[in-house]
A and B are shown apart, each in its own frame.
Chain A
Amino acid sequence: MSTGEKVAGSVANYVDERTGAAKWLKKNLTKVFPDHWSFMLGEIALYSFIILLLTGTFLTFWFDPSQREVIYHGSYLPLNGIHMSAAYDSTLHISFDVRGGLLMRQIHHWAALLFMSSIVAHMLRVFFTGAFRKPREFNWIIGIGLLTLGIVEGFLGYSLPDDLLSGTGIRIAEAIIQAIPIVGSYLTFFAFGGPFPGTSFIPRIFTVHVLLLPGIFLALITVHLMLVWYQKHTQYPGPGRTEKNVIGYPLMPVYMAKAGGFFFIVFGISAFLGAVASINPIWLYGPYTPGQISAGSQPDWYMGWLDGLVRMAPPIETHAFHHTISWNILIPGVIVPGIFFTFLALYPFIESWMSNDKREHHLLDRPRNAPNRTALGAFGITFMLVTLANGGNDLIATHFSLSINQITWMSRIGILILPPLAFFVTKRLCLSLQRADRELVLHGKETGRLVRLPHGEFVEVHEPLTDAQAWTLTQHEQLPALELPEVDAHGVLRPGGLRNRFRAKVSRSNAEAIAKPKPDDLKGIEDH
């Protein structure tokens, strides 16, 4: 036995005698994880969160979360002698006078964009493959919570430097709070410690940004990962993969090395972006004052959809009984996002209501085999893309010399027409792909080889699929639609007629599919 082994052995013995950890670790160190590139999207989110904690901690050592007015005398000469808040002053100090400060600021900002992008990509993967189905509904809801908090956390983070751009964003947030009926003006006065902007919000959002939300993140991420661990990861369908097993590589050593290595790669890419790609150059914007603004004001991308919704809102306010309700703020700023995120969070339950499927699912769907879900996803993505594009309507207008009014009108019409269109097209595409799968299984792959038969006819040779390929294309279930007759066996009207009719209609749409080949179909083919 080498010295290293001896030391490791005695440490392990020491710990185990006090915790009994050996049994648990023995089982879990060889825990199996399935392998697929799309399972790494959530990992990227986790790793960028760690990068955010590390770089963020560094930034707090110099950042001064205060709106105390100071006069700048740092190395960035264009702002020399300008009045500004201590927050803006210290951000300039980090950017120009702390070695590596700008690098850390930029890595922090890039990692935040990466964090949000990977959360969204991970969520789309989970959505389109049906990984949210029983027993993973809790984790889906936690994920939606993390997405929502991530948007808030990112917004608060880029608001901290108190520059002209971020202050404008805070002003807009204030207007949204102020527009809430009855309590709006009170809430803004409490949030800002008086009239906008006041001198309270930077210290307050600093505490929320560096303590409260990261704490909640840490707790939610822990539960999220524990559930993944405990419920075991889902897997893509394929030969030998069933609902009852999980095929993959053991945690130790393969996954430890791969995941650990991947963390360094994500960190390395963030560092590269921070090194070469300038982001949020606050020294160009100047300090915040409510009387000024820069043209082309844009939020970060994960807020862009919200800004785009606000930009396309119709100019409607209700003035009655000495009160005002700003629909032009409430609809795009509160109501539509509220409906969207609620629907998103409840989708696992809506789907199981449509299909009445209450079983556990560990095998993922190929998106084409769930046409209705895939089409709904396309609906949501299209909705978001239209709003996001409209969030940049001013930049589109100036870059392509277009009329901003026309772009906005295109978005207003597009938001109503394009998502349903995307739903329809995607659903047809999925069904066509199912048809193509059926063709493949029944007639094999086209080889491009033409053969001339003795009597002169030309035919193309088709190469049959392997058993493994045929299985992968046909292993999925095709659930029938719910049957919810309006009358029962005795011809009496059942209660909840309208609701049942609606549910049956939705269920029929959800169950639409091209019949997959059965063993008998294949036998018939072999004969000719």
Chain B
Amino acid sequence: MSDKAPRLSDPGLPEHVHRKADTDPAAAKKAERQVAILFTLSALGTILFIYSYIWVKTDRFIFIPIMGDQNASQLGMGIGLTFSLLFIGMGAIHWAKSLMPDNEVAAERHEFRSEEADRADFVATVKEQGAASGLGRRSLIKRSLGLSLGLIGLSPLLLLRDLGPLPKKSLEQTSWKTGTRLVTDPSGRPIKPSDLEVGAVAQVLPELQPGQERTLENVGKDAVLLIRLRPEEFELSPERLSWTYQGIIAFSKICTHMGCAVALYEQQTKHLLCPCHQSTFDVPRAAKVIFGPAARPLPQLAITVDSEGYLVAQKPFTEPVGPSFWERSS
């Protein structure tokens, strides 16, 4: 397929225009000096770099208009490095453009396709050598080789198996158990309903049992948000209402979309917003999703108080917390 339409004629390469430095020795000398100045500026930059590294204290700050207070050592080294690099580059390019030959040269291209004879020879060689090895005839060798080559890829895959344990039920469980006290994060103090005013929000974690340590894996599943509303503001089913205590409602803080911490509570609208992808949950309606990509409400933790009046979990979460996964059944 090609365009056979007649064309205008190609006038050919334009005539070469000489630069001033090609013909005028004075201009060439001037260009040489300019290149030398640029290279010298680069050397000065390196000196500034060395000076800043050795003699400027790392905790010294200087005020630069617009930029504000800047660390003098970092800035001095940075500007020194900039000069030393930039001016070498500018010198080299100025040299190339003003003094090196600028005659355009034409080179020929050749099609990449090999000559017919070479291609035929190649095919013949492959066929001949292939036949000599007997790969085509000896099907037993062919099949067993295919089998072993197919299987050999399994070994490196299998070796990766010990990268981690199997998930088992781990994604579905948290540390919350019946009667686990809610404690503040990070101070670890148990809380009473009276600690939380209406409209307040608090991040809590399950109280550690003696000898237990809190890992980030725990925090990633156990983090819970407490929010206190006026009890009449809830629009909950009777069951869910029984999971609250005096207007205090508890949700998993881990977003059901991609697991970020749902940390932004808007007191006026009573919305929880995930800062990652803006999924918005309506607190009075059991964290129903009202905007954004999350498909499920935040799991609600049933809470009550124990005999000493501290907030505790009535029971573990009734569904897995955090983002979805294949084995999740609800």
Point out residues on A near B: beta carbons under 8 Å.
30-32, 75, 96-97, 99-100, 102-103, 135, 168, 171-172, 174-176, 178-186, 188-198, 200, 231-232, 239-240, 242-250, 253-254, 257-258, 260-269, 271-272, 274-276, 288-297, 307, 310-317, 319, 322-326, 328-329, 332, 355-360, 362, 393-394, 404-405, 408, 466-468, 470-471, 474-475, 477-480, 517-520, 522
Contact = CB atoms under 8 A, between A and B. Distances in A.
B96 A315 contact: no
Contact of B216 (A30, A240, A289): A289
B326 A181 contact: yes
Contact of A311 (B77, B170, B277): B277
A129 B92 CA distance: 30
Given A261-B92, A269-B86, A328-B257, A404 B220 contact: no
B293 A315 contact: yes
A229 to B, nearest CB: 12
A479 B4 CA distance: 9
Contacts of A135: 112
A415 B170 CA distance: 38
B199 interface: no
B89 A293 contact: no
Contact of A175 (B14, B223, B264, B323): B323
Contacts of A262: 89, 93
B86 A195 contact: no
A181 B326 CA distance: 5
Given A99-B53, A292-B263, A175 B258 contact: yes
A297 B11 contact: no
Contact of A478 (B5, B59, B324): B5
B95 interface: yes
A261 B96 CA distance: 9
B106 A257 contact: no
A322 B320 CA distance: 13
A271 B254 CA distance: 40
Interface in B205-223: 205, 216-217, 219-221, 223
Interface residues on B, range: 35 or more
A239 B220 contact: no
A326 B323 contact: yes
Contacts of A254: 96, 100-102
B108 interface: yes
A469 to B, nearest CB: 10
Nearest to A327: B295
Given A254-B102, A297-B276, A522-B8, 13 more contacts: A100-B73, A171-B220, A174-B259, A195-B170, A195-B220, A239-B14, A240-B12, A249-B105, A257-B96, A263-B89, A297-B275, A324-B325, A478-B5
Contact of A102 (B74, B85, B171): B74
Interface string B188-208: 000000000000000101000
Contacts of A315: 279, 289, 292-295
Nearest to A168: B260
A358 B83 CA distance: 49
Contact of B185 (A248, A263, A291): A291
A271 B96 CA distance: 24
Nearest to B289: A315
A74 to B, nearest CB: 12
A253 B86 CA distance: 20
16 contacts: A103-B74, A172-B259, A191-B164, A196-B220, A244-B108, A246-B107, A253-B101, A257-B96, A267-B85, A268-B82, A290-B259, A291-B261, A295-B263, A311-B277, A323-B326, A329-B323
B140 interface: no
A103 B77 contact: yes
| A178, A289, A362, A467 — most chain B CB neighbours (10 Å) | A178
Interface in B1-20: 1-3, 5-14
Contacts of B112: 135, 231, 360
Interface in B46-86: 53, 58-59, 67, 71, 73-75, 77-79, 81-86
B115 interface: no
B71 A102 contact: yes
Most chain A beta-carbon contacts within 10 A, residue among B1, B81, B101, B258: B258
Contacts of A171: 220, 258-260
A245 B325 contact: no
B118 interface: no
Given A172-B260, A190-B160, A291-B219, A247 B104 contact: yes
A290 B220 contact: yes
A519 B8 contact: yes
A245 B107 contact: yes
B280 to A, nearest CB: 8
Contact of A249 (B13, B67, B102, B325): B102
Contacts of A263: 89
A418 B33 CA distance: 54
B171 A179 contact: no
Nearest to B58: A99
Nearest to B277: A311
B274 to A, nearest CB: 8
A332 B289 CA distance: 19
B167 interface: yes
A315 B281 CA distance: 12
A479 B3 contact: yes
B295 A316 contact: yes
Contacts of A97: 58
Nearest to B38: A261
A356 B1 contact: yes
Contact of A31 (B84, B107, B223): B107
B296 interface: yes
A26 to B, nearest CB: 14
Contact of A261 (B91, B111, B260): B91
A397 to B, nearest CB: 9
B102 A471 contact: no
Contacts of B109: 232, 243-246, 362
A185 B108 CA distance: 57
B92 A264 contact: yes
A180 B97 CA distance: 55
Nearest to B42: A264
B163 interface: yes
A102 B72 CA distance: 12
A324 B326 contact: yes
Interface string B250-281: 00011001111101100000000001111110
Contacts of A362: 109
Contact of A360 (B90, B111, B295): B111
Contacts of A186: 166-167
Contacts of A477: 2-3
A171 B259 CA distance: 7
Contacts of A185: 167, 171, 325-327
A253 B88 CA distance: 16
Nearest to B83: A268
A378 to B, nearest CB: 25
B122 interface: no
Nearest to A272: B82
A310 B258 contact: yes
Contact of A275 (B81, B90, B330): B81
A103 B78 CA distance: 6
B329 interface: yes
Given A190-B160, A310-B258, A475 B10 contact: yes
A290 B219 contact: yes
A198 B7 CA distance: 69
B216 A197 contact: yes
Contacts of A232: 107, 109
A324 B328 contact: yes
Contacts of B291: 405, 408
B165 interface: yes
Contacts of B105: 30, 32, 247-250
